[in-house]
Structure 1
Amino acid sequence: MVKTLKIPTTLTELEAIGEDATLRFPASFEEYLEWVEKCEFTIEYFNNEIVIMGNASYFHEKLVIRIGYLLTLLLENLTGFSVLGSNIKIHIADVLSPTDFNADVSVVKGEPAFVTLPSGKKSKAKISNPVIVVEVSSKSTISHDFGDKLLAYKKIDSLQYAIFVSQYQPFVTVYERKGPHHWELRDYTQMEESFELMGQKLTLNEIYKDIEFEK
Structure 2
Amino acid sequence: MKLQPFLVEAVAWSLDRLLGKCVELGLRCTDPPAVITPLLRCLGYNEYRVRRFWALLEEAGSPLDIELYRYPPLSFSLTLIHRKGAVAHLRDGCVPLDELDCKTLGDECIRTPHSHMLYIYVGGGLGQAQVRVNAVRLLHLLHRRSPEAAERLLDAVVEAAWGRAGPERLYESVLEALRAGSDVLHLVLPLVPSTLEELARVSPALRRLAPLPGR
The verdict on a shared fold, with TM-score over 0.5 as the criterion, is no
Q: Which of structures 1 and 2 has the larger relative contact order (alpha carbons within 8 angstroms, sep 6+)?
A: 2
**TM-score, normalization: structure 2?**
0.29
**TM-score, normalization: structure 1?**
0.29
Greater percentage in strand? 1
